[in-house]
């Protein structure tokens, strides 16, 4: 099972990336744990300065923007 983490302090873009990630997982039909990381100290451990960000299995894939659906699916799968 993939571990997907949305890194962000809870801003509207962070929430939108969380929803888009959940939708992409559903459309791909894969098993994944999608969680939010809102603690700034935890976010900094990933080396992320700008949010929102997406981590797939511990590797940061996108920072500071919400990718389009197709790009998001590619990152996840």
First to last CA, the chain: 11
Contact criterion met (CB below 8 Å) for 22 and 74 = no
Report the length, in residues, of the chain: 77
Owner of token pair 């992320």: 48
Q: Is 51 a catalytic residue?
A: no
Q: Is 14 a catalytic residue?
A: yes
The token pair that represents 52 in the structure block? 């929102």
Give me the catalytic one of 6, 14, 32, 66: 14
Give me the catalytic one of 9, 11, 33, 39: 11
Owner of token pair 């801003």: 11
User: Which residues carry out catalysis?
Assistant: 11, 14
């Amino acid at each position: 099972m993939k571990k997907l983490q949305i890194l962000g302090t809870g801003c509207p873009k962070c929430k939108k990336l969380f929803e888009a990630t959940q939708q992409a997982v559903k459309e791909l039909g894969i098993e994944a744990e999608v969680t939010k990381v809102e603690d700034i100290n935890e976010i900094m451990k990933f080396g992320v300065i700008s949010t929102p960000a997406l981590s797939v299995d511990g590797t940061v894939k996108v920072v500071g923007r919400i990718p389009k659906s197709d790009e998001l699916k590619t990152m996840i799968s």
